[in-house]
A and B are shown apart, each in its own frame.
Chain A
């Protein structure tokens, strides 16, 4: 057994170090392990086919298309102007706008990198021009972009639900994301505001109200997608997958007929862009099913649980260790992949220590979200640096107060599960 585990993880790490695609590294490592243990390859390839055959997983393409259409259709620009109307007239206004717009954008997209590259591409230069420090501008943009992975729709939550594989409900998982998303936004705003006051950052210009009405109307049209997801799921009018399809169709209608920024040719470009993300995700979902099969076969989750139990029998300590592990791994791998990889191992552990499955899901998404902001592999951090054309060494100092604000939220949510569970529980859902 020990040898099997060694082969599984050893070959995986070696392959990944040699630039093997992470997805197929999972597959090849599984085949190597199966050869050693005498598991028929048949079972593994069967898993690679059935792994994608999940109705739950189907909302991922829908939400990705929806976000791509909205982004290419200019939603980020409209949301930014809208947020500016809401909160631009205080000290550090543009920084606060940055936090708020990511909350709205997060309700449309689940991608932090899309947030940085679309909103950041004009807000970072705009902030620097207004007189904000560059490291501060990048840090606000990148940290706030993580709001989108917690606020539904969130591909990462779907990965968790699919990888946990025990009949969790996407809808309930989504509902757990709203309050923590708000809390994170608030925490980042407080952090931005304190620094803005201390450094005497500027206040934005006033706009006339006629302009404002156009801005508000256009932004609200886009924000209806948030309502489709939130109300549709809460009211049970449709499932998460259906919400994704409806939101995608709605996004196309709004951008084509109201914003007039979309047409069939541009739609095709949107879809082609989504393929890039989806190809990697589909491959990882397929191969990780085979990998999880090997993990279960080798009883890895049980070994991890008993290993943790030998360190401490306190759920608090175990939770701390799991979070520490996720933060460390988050420095080296992207969050989507880690969620798919770690959930089959950590989920059974968390359950055996009596944590709530949805609460734990939120903790995982939030903790691994931090990995988007930490070097050496921090996709959002790098995207932010690339936009501002700044080396990472000069930027990272600006991140420190925001890491702190992020960790405060994480600790609050770990300690008070009801922040996550309040909405589904008060609506009477089984959690």
Chain B
């Protein structure tokens, strides 16, 4: 009887779970569903992935823990959330680290991205591709941010993260960490003068209704990663591993483009609603925050490598 069980196990279908915190209409969620579909196809149905959207399996920090311990198979995580677990990815969350979108993907798809991804092994995780999660820009209520001088004295809501707080301080603003749900009222009542996010969140949160000035400074563009638990990875045979990697590659290529389109759609909608969008001199902003790079000596050599990529 024991023999037949082990034979079953060899042909057994692997059922995995994937945690995504965004709703179904977001391109990143669609990318995850596509990934699951491709994995099924490429493994002839031997690896099945159930995608749980809307943070049903927990928020990003919770799902990272679960992946590390092997209680969850996959989680799609933004690198800004991952940085507290894996310090290595923190370099991608530094302000103005990427000079353009092209530069960003040359870095991530090249040796630098590969190296960082490989470093996740020591946290019991496998990194599967870098995914697009939008570029964050400032938006303000009373006056537009056209130059660094405009930020001076502004109360800017930032995410509860050291890098974001320091960045705003270096630009001369007062960094005000605040729960996301309170930002709309904060902007409206003047508790804060500005906040920052990508076009999609700017639109879907309704912040564009109360903060009409949006400045394209692109201070941060941290990518997302698809993480797989090492424990689950070890259950795959070589051809399945290959299939999972290929599926991630294909889905990520599609997702990056879809996310860009989605950003542009949101941009069109806020423009239609009467928001003004300002081009700014990114170089000046970059110079203002450049001391931040010295605060993270551990990234010194990798920053050099990133700068060397064109």
Q: How far is the CA of A297 from the CA of B57 in the complex (A)?
A: 8
Determine the residue in chain A with the shortest Cβ distance to B186: A236
| Beta-carbon contact of B189 and A235 below 8 Å | yes
Determine the residue in chain A with the shortest Cβ distance to B188: A428
| Beta-carbon contact of A430 and B206 below 8 Å | yes
B163-201 CB contacts (< 8 Å) to partner A? 178-182, 184-186, 188-191
A46-79 CB contacts (< 8 Å) to partner B? 46-47, 50, 55-56
CB distance from B274 to the nearest CB of A (A): 16
Most buried by A among B185, B188, B191, B206: B185
- Which secondary structure characterizes the binding site on chain A? loop
Given the complex, which residues of B lie within 8 Å of A293, measured CB to CB?
58
Q: Does A257 contact B (CB under 8 A)?
A: no
CB contact under 8 A between A43 and B56, given known A167-B181, A236-B190: no
Given the complex, which residues of A lie within 8 Å of B186, measured CB to CB?
236
Determine the residue in chain B with the shortest Cβ distance to A168: B181
The contact of B188 among A43, A55, A236, by CB within 8 Å, is A236
| Beta-carbon contact of A42 and B206 below 8 Å | no
Q: How far is the CA of A40 from the CA of B190 in the complex (A)?
A: 45
The contact of A237 among B61, B180, B181, B191, by CB within 8 Å, is B191
CB contact under 8 A between A239 and B182, given known A42-B71, A429-B188, A430-B209: yes
Cβ proximity bits A403-431 to B, threshold 8 Å, 1 near / 0 not: 00000000000000000000000001110
| Beta-carbon contact of B66 and A171 below 8 Å | no
Q: How far is the CA of A171 from the CA of B189 in the complex (A)?
A: 12
CB contact under 8 A between A169 and B56, given known A42-B66, A42-B69, A429-B188: no
Given the complex, which residues of B lie within 8 Å of A238, measured CB to CB?
191
CB contact under 8 A between A47 and B58, given known A167-B180, A169-B181: yes
B231-283 CB contacts (< 8 Å) to partner A? none
The contact of A171 among B56, B69, B185, B209, by CB within 8 Å, is B185
Q: Does B62 contact A (CB under 8 A)?
A: yes
CB distance from A431 to the nearest CB of B (A): 11
CB distance from A390 to the nearest CB of B (A): 45
Interface residues on B, range: 20 to 34
Q: Does B150 contact A (CB under 8 A)?
A: no
| Beta-carbon contact of A43 and B181 below 8 Å | no
Given the complex, which residues of B lie within 8 Å of A296, measured CB to CB?
56
B52-98 CB contacts (< 8 Å) to partner A? 56-59, 61-62, 65-66, 69, 71-72
| Beta-carbon contact of B189 and A236 below 8 Å | yes
Given the complex, which residues of B lie within 8 Å of A169, measured CB to CB?
181-182, 184-185
| Beta-carbon contact of A50 and B184 below 8 Å | no
Cβ proximity bits B193-219 to A, threshold 8 Å, 1 near / 0 not: 000000000000010010000000000
Given the complex, which residues of B lie within 8 Å of A56, measured CB to CB?
179, 181
Q: Does A172 contact B (CB under 8 A)?
A: yes
A383-407 CB contacts (< 8 Å) to partner B? none
Cβ proximity bits A161-173 to B, threshold 8 Å, 1 near / 0 not: 0000001110110
Cβ proximity bits A219-238 to B, threshold 8 Å, 1 near / 0 not: 00000000000000001111
Determine the residue in chain A with the shortest Cβ distance to B187: A236
Determine the residue in chain B with the shortest Cβ distance to A235: B189
Determine the residue in chain B with the shortest Cβ distance to A39: B71
Given the complex, which residues of A lie within 8 Å of B181, measured CB to CB?
56, 167-169
5 extra interchain contacts, Cβ-Cβ under 8 A, other than A46-B58, A293-B58?
A: A42-B69, A42-B71, A43-B66, A46-B66, A169-B184
Residues of B within 8 A of A (CB): 56-59, 61-62, 65-66, 69, 71-72, 178-182, 184-186, 188-191, 206, 209
Residues of A within 8 A of B (CB): 40, 42-43, 46-47, 50, 55-56, 167-169, 171-172, 235-239, 293, 296-297, 428-430
- A and B contact pairs by CB, cutoff 8 A, 16 listed: A42-B69, A42-B71, A43-B58, A43-B62, A43-B71, A46-B58, A46-B62, A50-B59, A55-B179, A169-B182, A236-B190, A293-B58, A296-B56, A428-B188, A429-B188, A430-B206
